[in-house]
Amino acid sequence: MRISLIIIAVLLFCSPAVQATSFEQQQRDWFQQARKALNKHQIKQYELLKNKLQDYSLKPYLDIWQARKALAKGDDRLVEAALSNYPDVPENINLRRAWLKFLAKKGDWVDVQNLITAFPKLASRYPTLAMMGDWYAGDKSKAMFQFSKHWMNGKAVSAQQKPLYRAWLNQQHPSDTERWQRINSFAKKGQWKQTRLLAGSLSKPQKAWLKYWRVLQKKPEKALAAWPESLNASAASLPAGLMIRDVIQRLSRRDVGKAWLAVQQLQLTQQHIDADLFFTLERSIALRAARQHKQIAFAWLAQLPIEFQNKDSRAWQVRLALIGPNWIDVLVVIGQMPHAQREQDRWMYWQAQALQALDYNDLAQQSLAKLAAGRGYYNFLSAEQINQPFQLQNSKIIVSDQTIEAVKQMPGIRRAQEWLLLGNRNKAAREWHYALVGSDKSYWRAAAVIASSWQWHDQVIRAAYKADEMNALLHRFPMSYAKIVQSEAAKTGLQMASIWSIIRQESAFNQYAMSYVGAKGLMQLMPATARHVARKLHMHKGMPKLFSAAINIRLGASYLADMKQRFGSLALAAVAYNAGPHRVSTWLKRVPFESPIVWMELIPFNETRRYVQQVMAFVTVYEWRQHKQPSSLVARLQGHGLNVVSFNQAVSIHGEDLQ
């Protein structure tokens, strides 16, 4: 009897929490059932289930989806209610886009214009519909201007645009400039059939220009050397400028030396062409040559007028000077940089190296000490050079409970949490970003704490960045999937820190990440690469499940280990992982790997250079996160596994705060 009373008491005490949890799960089940019923057009069942979800945070989605389905059948009566009732639900963006196209198809241009006026972002996504909306709404001049741009870019004229097109023609369009710009858009793509339709409107001299343009594309060197005097006599600067730009760019992709020489010759013969075009082409050729590590590019870049120098031209002059190395040139070019560029860690580091090489040791030490106070690739290199500890102190994210609760109660955040619980991270992320856009740093700090409690690591990383909490290292550098990473490290011989660093750089620990080129999962594997590695590992046939953490990490770690074995260092392996092994082989032929730090600076692709430098810095952070003594960054760049950092550089650990 006594036992029964105790059981009843416990049940009574626990029942509210149990009931709340059960009810929340019941609502999720009803929501999913309602969605299925809607998709199967079981409207009575759908309405019955929807009515049970009056307070459920994702109920607006059902109304929006219902409006979208009705719209697909030609009925837009539900759309306005859905848009007005749920203005803060990002799913409405899809509904607005569908409605805009629906209205345009019906020819309701006034409503098209009204919708674009209410939601201006639609204009940038659907410029053609915005243009026609302007036309029918009476903003004729704006529509004409937009149509001219549309036409010059080589776009087709749709039946929808015919009234505007006819009016445009009646306004004495196209002009010679518009006609040649359209020809240019076709010629650059080699679409010469399209240019024939325009050739009939050209004058006899202009037709000669067009004919010669095609000859230039087929035999650029020969045709440039035999430029017809008859074309010079017509002094048609517009077609000449377009032709020269197109052909020189084509020639530079084949041979930068021949392209440079051709520009010098054209400057002498085509004096009616604006000199700015030639300077722009010279810079483009010189930068291409610099990325091919041709030393002549230094002189080409240096002779550009100051107004044609930019951050890339100055950066590559420094990089080419490093090959020598010519430390005086390094100092001179960095000294010519604008203050903002000169103060970047990259150029402060190389300025310090030049100063030290030229025996200005005190000045070099001052710069290195300043850099050593930061955290990152050049900061770690500087700290190691002057035997200073790496700056790896962690800071807690401080935010009030009230702010955390305020963010949690935001409708969009509540919907994001529900989508996470339902396993749809894409919709969760969309709600999350939509809710927090424009928030102040206190809200982003709260968001980082909330996302951390949800184990939503990629959003923790982004929220910490938005909150400017760059020292919140435990939040910004998670150690997720530890068992899998440990297992693959043991199999491949890689350090766990190396695998984590690639995951952190590739996907920020988003298991379902997918790039615009099709790379998938935590380690962002391309399907072809994944299949190749899977065959090598004798895994099951077919396409590997790249959104599986275990499979993705296994394949990614194996591929990284193969690259490390092939090229001899983690740094080169990371370059190959990002840009492909064939490019690493090509770059190693151009520049020997005698000075790894210089070699990394000379990587032609900005993205790849930043990538490998980030990965190498992240390895240091992850070693620290494992409570290890940080290894030498220089040794890792060289491919050695030496742990050469002195004991005094080890970071002491006190709970969560790292001093």
State both tokens at 392. Answer: 């790896």
What b/e readout covers 517-543, taking b as 16+ CB neighbours within 10 angstroms?
A: eebbbbbbbeeebbbebbeeeebeeee
Across the range 516-531, mean pLDDT stands at: 94
Q: Are 109 and 137 in contact (CB under 8 A)?
A: yes
Which CATH code fits 23-158?
1.25.20.10
Q: What is the pLDDT of residue 235?
A: 55
Q: What is the pLDDT of residue 234?
A: 60
Strands 653-654 and 657-658: antiparallel
Question: How confident is residue 21, by pLDDT bands cut at 50, 70 and 90?
Answer: low
Query: In the predicted model, what is the mean pLDDT of the chain?
Result: 91
Domain ranges of the chain: 23-158, 401-470, 484-658
Residue 428, pLDDT > 80, answer: yes
Q: What is the pLDDT of residue 233?
A: 58
Instruction: List pLDDT tens digits, range 574-609.
Output: 999 999 999 999 999 999 998 999 999 999 999 999
Across the range 487-506, mean pLDDT stands at: 98
Q: What is the pLDDT of residue 19?
A: 44
CA distances from 277 to 182, 288, 308 (A): 19, 17, 11
Distance (Å, rounded) from C-alpha 545 to C-alpha 521?
Answer: 9
Q: What is the pLDDT of residue 79?
A: 96
Q: Which residue has the higher pLDDT, 495 or 231?
A: 495
Residue 339, pLDDT > 60, answer: yes
Q: What is the pLDDT of residue 11?
A: 41
Cβ neighbours of residue 185 closer than 8 Å, sequence gap 6 or more: 152, 153, 154
Residue with tokens 């060197």: 221
Q: Are 544 and 531 in contact (CB under 8 A)?
A: yes
Instruction: List pLDDT tens digits, range 70-127.
Output: 999 999 999 999 999 999 999 999 999 999 999 999 999 999 999 999 999 999 999 9
Q: What is the pLDDT of residue 123?
A: 94
Distance (Å, rounded) from C-alpha 586 to C-alpha 603?
Answer: 11
548 three-class SS: coil
Q: Are 490 and 554 in contact (CB under 8 A)?
A: no
Q: Are 639 and 569 in contact (CB under 8 A)?
A: yes
Q: What is the pLDDT of residue 402?
A: 98
Q: What is the pLDDT of residue 437?
A: 96
Which CATH code fits 401-470?
1.10.1240.20
CA distances from 296 to 86, 287, 321, 491 (A): 61, 11, 11, 47
Residue 8, pLDDT > 70, answer: no
> In one letter, which amino acid is 518?
G
Q: What is the pLDDT of residue 383?
A: 97
Residue 3, pLDDT > 70, answer: no
Q: What is the pLDDT of residue 204?
A: 85
Alpha-carbon Rg for the chain in angstroms = 31
Residue 655, pLDDT > 80, answer: no
259 exposure class (CB count in 10 Å sphere: 0-12, 13-18, 19+): buried
- Is this model's pTM higher than 0.85 or not? yes
Q: What is the pLDDT of residue 14?
A: 41
Q: What is the pLDDT of residue 84?
A: 94
Fold of 484-658: Lysozyme (1.10.530)
CA 470 to chain centre: 20
Across the range 503-522, mean pLDDT stands at: 95
Instruction: List pLDDT tens digits, range 351-368.
Output: 999 999 999 999 999 999
Cβ neighbours of residue 343 closer than 8 Å, sequence gap 6 or more: none
Q: What is the pLDDT of residue 654?
A: 27
Residue 658, pLDDT > 70, answer: no
Nearest alpha-carbon partner for 316 in 350, 339, 272: 350
653 three-class SS: strand
Q: What is the pLDDT of residue 23?
A: 83
Instruction: List pLDDT tens digits, range 130-169.
Output: 999 999 988 999 999 999 999 999 999 999 999 999 999 9
